[in-house]
Chain A
Amino acid sequence: MGIKSYLTRKLVSPEFEAHMSKVNKPVGTLGYDPWGYNTETSKIVMSLFQHVYNTYFRVQATGLENIPAEGPVLIIGNHSGQLPIDGMLVAYSIASRQEKPRMPRAMIERFFPTVPLLGNFLNQLGAVLGDPVNCSKMLKNGEAVIVFPEGIRGSGKLYKDRYQLQRFGNGFLHLAMQNNATIIPVGIVGCEETIPAIANIKPLAKMLGVPYVPVALPVIFPAKVHLNFGKPMTYPNDNATEDEVTGRVEEVKTVIRELIDKGLQERKGIF
């Protein structure tokens, strides 16, 4: 409480404070929501993160206007970069848009809640345990949720496999259909180059109980990031068979592939 108020005064500018007040995010009387999101923590970290977004990664985002101002939305993107930097950049781009900003939620791996400090910290920023029940409840509450259907297959892939989409799970499409959620595809270019990994030490990962241990330099490179948001996609809740759902997932995947290609063509160099 005291520390947060102090940091808010020191780090959050009046302009940023005014912008964050425009974000339509339902919270309780003390600024928390049921998943642990906290308005004050989020404001402080977002304020600091704007420099990372604008200066370090020099993010260029297009198509942000495609994201509906309200109602359930699933933002589906390609995952990469060993750490969830891509999710943070996507979230920040939507929270910082000038017209009707939203505070999207990112689904995180199941081991995070068991990690002291980090688990609660991510929750306070809006990240939520990647559980279908959580996702469904949030969509029913009209939230915007970021999902990477590749999961760790995407974030943990090696540099030689960059921009090659891994297998998508079907879960996100079922959730979209069940909750009448709009799907917004996003192609993320640049994060593959932030932490390039040449190998994965599987035995060590198994021993530590983490999804992967990359062989990479202990540095996050300032690659320029392009975020291209696509047009809204909707699917009826029509009791479709699993094969039909897989076909719909492929449609979303194809659009994301096109958006990635667009980003790769747009960029003039990695940095």
Chain B
Amino acid sequence: MDKTKPTIMITGAAGALAQQVIQRLRENANIVAVDFREQVYLGDEIPSYCIDFNKRGFEDLFRKYNFTGVIHLGRIMSSQETRMRRYNANVLGAQKLFEFCHKYEVKQVLVLSTYHVYGAMPYNPALIDEQAPLKAAELTMDLIDSVELENLSTIYLWKYPDLNITILRACNIVGPEVRNTISKILGSEYAPTLLGFSPIMQFIHIDDMADAIVLAFQTIKPGIYNVAPDDWVSYQDALLRSGCKRVQIPSIPPVLPKMIIKTFNLKKFPTYLVNYFKYPVVIDGRLFNKTYNFRPQKSLSDIFNYYKERKLMQGKGEY
């Protein structure tokens, strides 16, 4: 490893977003890739590990590499793993990560969070800013680990200011290779919706999100930031523009859609996210945009055209 360059640990390395971040940083930094789920090959010059943050071997990485920074993208999403395993990885694992960062004098930590932490409720105002309470845990146990990860990051942000923790609460990240719930829905031919509900949503292209992460990491300004473009669209309009055929699920009484989803085992439309397809959670990204002079390059039309064109190519057997 080049000792003149900073050494950065990037978690969640098997994910598409992490790989984009690695591509942007590998020229000017020594990268160490870590993932909870699988080991990925990212070239000979990038050491890659599949490791559980709660295992003793995790600390050895801090002993072996003198990390200057950590980009923690390895949050297990709500649609993956069991609730207990997610809690262990996302909360207890992250606590280990912060403790090691402090012990081994890491100078900067970036944590990727999600707008889900605000919670989807009928009384949500629009343009929710960073000071708003995190209500997601009230809705479902399945989002508790996401809220807890946030709370833990905030505790360490104040407890160890030398860690320079930056927390990014991103809106829906979509685009090529993204495997989250919303991206799977936009990419599918038939997309579920709740009859009579079409909440306003925000989308950010994976390229722009990778740029946002690199920008936030390269400029040390610790704090909590929403990341979202100044552009909005209703969910059902987004589906139509992405070339999806809408499958309307009855929405009242509230127990009915959950029953239908469970009966038909609609994994791409999980019951604990149902409220996010019913009520808007529109976040205010202006603080981040102003602080980092950030402006997404990909428009909503670019995003939806990608999904539409991909479907057309699949139809022609070219994809």
Contact = CB atoms under 8 A, between A and B. Distances in A.
A191 B223 CA distance: 51
Contacts of A131: 123, 125
Contacts of A38: 234
A28 B232 contact: yes
A134 interface: yes
Given A129-B123, A131-B125, A137-B125, A117 B196 contact: yes
Interface stretch (A6-14, A29-37, A93-101, A155-163): A29-37
Contact of A36 (B200, B241, B252): B200
B73 interface: no
B280 A30 contact: no
A1 interface: yes
Contacts of A117: 196
Given A32-B200, A32-B233, A129-B125, A116 B252 contact: yes
Interface string A115-126: 111011001100
A113 interface: yes
Contacts of A2: 240
B200 A34 contact: yes
Contacts of A123: 200
B195 interface: yes
A116 B301 CA distance: 27
Contacts of A115: 196
A29 B231 contact: yes
Contacts of B194: 116
B200 A35 contact: yes
Given A30-B231, A33-B232, A110 B122 contact: yes
Q: Which of B232, B234, B279, B300: most chain A CB closer than 10 A?
A: B232
Interface in B93-124: 122-124
Contact of B127 (A29, A113, A114, A137): A137
Contact of A28 (B198, B231, B280): B231
Judged by DSSP, the binding face of B is loop
B247 interface: no
A117 B195 CA distance: 8
A137 B123 contact: no
B234 A36 contact: yes
A30 B240 CA distance: 13
Interface residues of A, number: 27
Contacts of A119: 196-197
Contacts, number: 79
Nearest to A131: B125
B177 interface: no
Q: Which of B123, B241, B301: most chain A CB closer than 10 A?
A: B123
Interface in A102-151: 110, 113-117, 119-120, 123-124, 128-129, 131, 133-134, 137
Contacts of B240: 1-2
A120 B196 contact: yes
Nearest to A140: B127
A198 to B, nearest CB: 31
Given A36-B200, A120-B196, A114 B231 contact: no
Contact of A32 (B125, B232, B279): B232
B233 A28 contact: yes
A133 B284 CA distance: 12
A117 B124 CA distance: 18
A114 B122 contact: yes
A96 B230 CA distance: 27
Given A28-B232, A114-B122, A34 B127 contact: yes
B201 to A, nearest CB: 10
B197 A116 contact: yes
A117 B123 CA distance: 16
Nearest to B198: A120
A137 B194 CA distance: 28
Interface string A16-37: 0000000000001110111110
Nearest to B233: A30
B299 interface: yes
B126 interface: yes
Contacts of A28: 230-233, 300
10 contacts: A29-B301, A30-B232, A32-B231, A32-B232, A35-B126, A36-B199, A36-B234, A110-B122, A129-B122, A131-B123
Interface of B: 122-127, 194-200, 230-234, 237, 240-241, 251-252, 279-280, 282, 284, 299-301
Given A1-B240, A35-B200, A137-B125, 15 more contacts: A28-B232, A30-B232, A36-B200, A36-B234, A113-B122, A115-B196, A119-B197, A120-B197, A120-B199, A129-B123, A129-B124, A131-B123, A131-B125, A133-B125, A134-B125
